[in-house]
C-alpha cells in the first residue's frame, strides 16, 4: 500500500487494514491480538489477553460486541483498489470476519461497551467455549460479528453434530458378495441421508443437511482386514435438537461405531428483542432498509446462546458469499456504515438499560 493511500485512511479504516494485513489463521492469532491490545490501550481502555488467546476489553456490559480473530488459511494479497466512488480492501479475512472484528473494536471504544475477540472460531470455537466455561457472567446483550451486509441482521443459525464412523471387516477376494467395511460405511450414510431427505420446497435453513467431509478406507497393512473411517457432519435446524438428530443417525447404525465429538445446538432469536429493534432503528437511521437473515451454517452465536440467557444477534459488514473465497474483499464505505450502525445501536441499548 502506498504512503498516500495510507494517509487517506481514517483511524477506523487503518485498524481494519492493519488487521487484514496481519495473518491470523486459526492457531496463529497472536499478532492480531497484539494489534487489538495496542488499539485499546491507545484509547485508554482496559484490555488483556487470556490463556487461550482471547482479547478482553471489558467496560459497560449492557452490550458485548464480539467477533473472531482467526481466519481460514489462504493468501489473498492485501491491497486497496479504487472502484469509482468507492474503495475496496482485498485480503484474507476482510469479510470473514476481520471486517466485523475491527468495526466492533472501533464501536466499543466510541460507546464504552464491552468487547471480546475470540480465537478458533473457524475450527472448534475454542475461544467462545473457553469464555462461557469461565466465570464470566452473561452480558445484557450480545452482538456477534460475522458478515451480514451492513443492512442485514442475522437472527438464526443451524446447529452442528459432527462424528467419526469406524468399521472393520475381514479381508477377502473382491468377487465375494458380502459387504466390506467400505460398503458398510456407505450403506449407513445412505440410510442417514434417506431419513433426512427433505421436501424440495423446504428452505435449506429448515433442513438437516448431511455431509461426509473426509473418508479413508482400504486393506489394512497386515492384509487381514478392510477398514473404513468417515468424518461426517449434520447441520441441525431449530425444529430439531442435536439429540434428535443423533438418535436418528444412531438408529441407522447396524455395523461399525460412531464417536460423536462435536455438538452445537441451533439458535433462532426473536426479531422483537431490544437488540434486534435497536439494530433495525440504527440501520434505518444510517439510510438502509433492514433485512432479517437466517444462516445455514454455525457460528459462535450458537455457543453463546447455549449458555447465556440474553438477547443476541449477529451483525457485520461484507458479502458472506465471499467468505473463504480467493477474491475476498470488503467495501470501505460499507465498513464505515457498519461502524455507524454499531455505534448507534449500542448507544440506543445503553440508553434503554440506563
Active site residues: 70, 121
Cis peptide preceding 97, ω within 30 of 0: yes
Neighbours of 202 (CB within 10 A): 10
Q: Indicate left, alpha or beta for 91 from its phi (over 0: left) and psi (-120 to 50: alpha).
A: left
What are the φ/ψ torsions at residue 287 (nearest 5 degrees)?
100, 15
CA distances from 138 to 96, 241, 298 (A): 25, 23, 21
C-alpha cell at 77: 494479497
CA distances from 35 to 12, 105, 209, 247 (A): 13, 11, 38, 45
C-alpha cell at 208: 438437516
Contact 167, 150 (CB under 8 A): no
Amino acid at each position: 500500500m502506498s504512503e498516500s493511500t495510507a494517509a487517506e485512511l481514517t483511524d477506523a479504516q487503518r485498524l481494519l487494514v492493519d488487521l487484514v494485513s496481519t495473518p491470523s489463521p486459526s492457531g496463529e492469532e497472536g499478532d492480531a491480538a497484539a494489534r487489538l491490545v495496542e488499539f485499546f490501550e491507545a484509547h485508554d481502555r482496559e484490555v488483556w489477553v487470556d490463556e487461550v488467546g482471547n482479547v478482553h476489553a471489558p467496560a459497560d456490559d449492557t452490550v458485548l460486541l464480539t467477533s473472531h480473530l482467526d481466519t481460514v488459511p489462504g493468501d489473498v494479497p492485501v491491497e486497496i483498489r479504487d472502484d469509482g466512488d468507492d474503495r475496496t480492501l482485498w485480503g484474507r479475512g476482510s469479510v470473514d470476519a476481520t471486517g466485523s472484528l475491527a468495526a466492533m473494536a472501533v464501536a466499543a471504544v466510541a460507546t464504552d461497551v464491552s468487547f471480546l475477540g475470540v480465537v478458533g472460531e473457524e475450527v472448534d470455537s475454542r475461544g467462545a467455549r473457553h469464555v462461557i466455561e469461565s466465570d464470566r457472567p452473561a452480558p445484557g446483550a450480545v452482538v456477534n460479528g460475522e458478515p451480514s451486509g451492513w443492512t442485514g441482521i442475522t437472527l438464526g443459525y443451524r446447529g452442528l453434530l459432527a462424528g467419526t464412523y469406524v468399521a472393520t471387516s475381514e479381508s477377502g477376494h473382491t468377487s465375494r458378495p458380502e459387504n466390506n467395511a467400505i460398503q458398510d460405511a456407505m450403506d449407513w450414510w445412505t440410510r442417514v441421508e434417506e431419513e433426512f431427505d427433505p421436501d424440495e420446497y423446504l428452505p435449506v435453513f429448515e433442513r438437516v443437511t448431511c455431509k461426509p467431509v473426509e473418508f479413508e478406507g482400504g486393506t489394512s497393512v497386515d492384509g487381514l482386514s478392510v477398514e473404513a473411517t468417515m468424518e461426517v457432519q449434520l447441520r441441525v435446524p431449530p425444529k430439531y435438537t442435536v439429540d434428535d438428530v443423533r438418535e436418528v443417525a444412531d438408529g441407522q447404525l447396524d455395523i461399525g461405531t460412531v464417536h460423536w465429538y462435536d455438538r452445537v445446538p441451533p439458535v433462532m432469536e426473536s426479531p422483537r428483542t431490544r437488540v434486534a429493534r435497536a439494530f433495525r432503528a440504527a440501520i434505518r437511521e444510517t439510510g438502509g432498509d433492514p433485512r432479517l437473515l437466517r444462516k445455514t451454517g454455525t457460528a459462535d452465536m450458537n455457543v453463546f446462546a447455549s449458555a447465556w440467557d440474553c438477547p443476541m444477534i449477529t451483525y457485520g459488514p461484507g458479502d458472506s458469499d465471499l467468505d473463504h473465497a480467493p477474491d475476498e474483499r470488503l467495501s470501505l464505505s460499507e465498513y464505515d456504515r457498519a461502524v455507524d450502525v454499531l455505534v448507534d445501536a449500542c448507544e440506543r441499548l445503553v440508553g434503554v438499560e440506563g
